[in-house]
Amino acid sequence: MKAFAIVLTILALGAAIYTAIYMPLTWFMVFAFSSLLYGFISPVIAARRLFFLATEAPHMALFSVVLGIVVYKTTNLLNEFLWALIISIILINVVGHLIRAGVDPDVATSVMVSLTASGSVVATYYVLTFYSVQYNLWAFILGDPLLVTSQEALQLTIIAVASALATVYLYMFGIYMGVDLDHAKLSARNIWLYDTAIYTLLGISSVALLKIVGFVLEHVLLTLPAIIASAVSSSSREALHTSVVSAVASSFLGLLLSTKLNIAPAGGIGFITLSIYLIARVLSAKKHA
């Protein structure tokens, strides 16, 4: 299966170099760093068995972004993006720590999805009614990576690098916790701090990715790289590598596909990610046959 990871690495590097040479630099930055963001965070989600939280994260991100607009417009403090980050981090930590405290994950996530979904409807209605000509909420649903300005690309770069460094630092301990939580609790103090860091990373990443890949695709991209990696990897280190390169490859190849077909890039990324997943499943099935 190492061959699969090597092929993905070559594809990722080739597509990235092509983009860097022939396409606008902001595109390279946006596609490279957004894919690194979800490529790094995805295996941590898998290691810590937080898929339920990852699939809920886009709901919280959408709610946070729309509520962030309302809060900013009402208070005129900070900016919409910072409010969205603050709200998202609070929400995801509340649900994460409720589960840590013993609340059934299904119950906690159901309650939070109900809150964020209905909250999104109300907040969206409010924004559409009062500020609709100033904000295009469709960009958050469908994703609009090409309209990211250089300033926003720099923000994304900082978030992606910080998240990737934190992931590298936290990843192995996450694996131990995923494998044997009781042993991890005995061998380390302040495990809650580790969990808080993971929840916060997820909260920040989901908001940062919303405008780029959109609400619809974010569900897939936060979880699929790790699922691809787990299908073809034999070690945790290899899984992190496969997740990152599959994310980078799907991002740049998705951009090239959308350029060729003149379609929205988020859709191109989704199709390529799905194709890589299907190939990984076939290879995994052959290996186990």
Tokens of 260: 């060729």
As a residue count, the chain comes to: 289
Interaction between residue 266 and other proteins (CB under 8 A): yes
Interaction between residue 187 and other proteins (CB under 8 A): no
Tokens of 31: 């596609």
3-class secondary structure, 49: coil
Interaction between residue 10 and other proteins (CB under 8 A): no
Q: CA–CA separation, 204 vs 224, rounded Å?
A: 19
Interaction between residue 250 and other proteins (CB under 8 A): no
Angle made by CA atoms 207, 237, 192, in degrees to the nearest 5: 50
Interaction between residue 200 and other proteins (CB under 8 A): no
Q: Identify which of residues 3 and 133 has a Cβ nearer to other proteins in the complex.
A: 133
Interaction between residue 24 and other proteins (CB under 8 A): yes
**CA distances for 208 relative to 50, 83, 242, 286, angstroms:** 19, 12, 22, 37
Which residue, among 16, 284, 236, has the nearest Cα to 8 in the 3D structure?
16
Q: Identify which of residues 75 and 151 has a Cβ nearer to other proteins in the complex.
A: 151
Interaction between residue 132 and other proteins (CB under 8 A): yes
Interaction between residue 234 and other proteins (CB under 8 A): no
Q: Identify which of residues 94 and 161 has a Cβ nearer to other proteins in the complex.
A: 161
Residue 14 burial by CB count (10 A; 0-12/13-18/19+): exposed, middle or buried?
A: middle
User: Please, are residues 222 and 40 in contact by the beta-carbon 8 Å criterion?
Assistant: no
Q: One symbol per residue from 90 to 119: x for binding other proteins (CB under 8 A), - otherwise; what is it?
A: ------------------------------
Interaction between residue 179 and other proteins (CB under 8 A): no
| Cβ contacts of 20 within 8 Å, gap of 6 or more | 28
Interaction between residue 139 and other proteins (CB under 8 A): yes
Interaction between residue 161 and other proteins (CB under 8 A): yes
Stretch that binds other proteins, among 73-81, 176-184, 215-223, 261-269 (CB under 8 A): 261-269
Interaction site with other proteins (CB under 8 A): 23-29, 32-33, 36, 128-136, 138-139, 142-144, 146-150, 153-154, 157, 160-161, 164-165, 168, 171-172, 237, 255, 258-259, 262-266
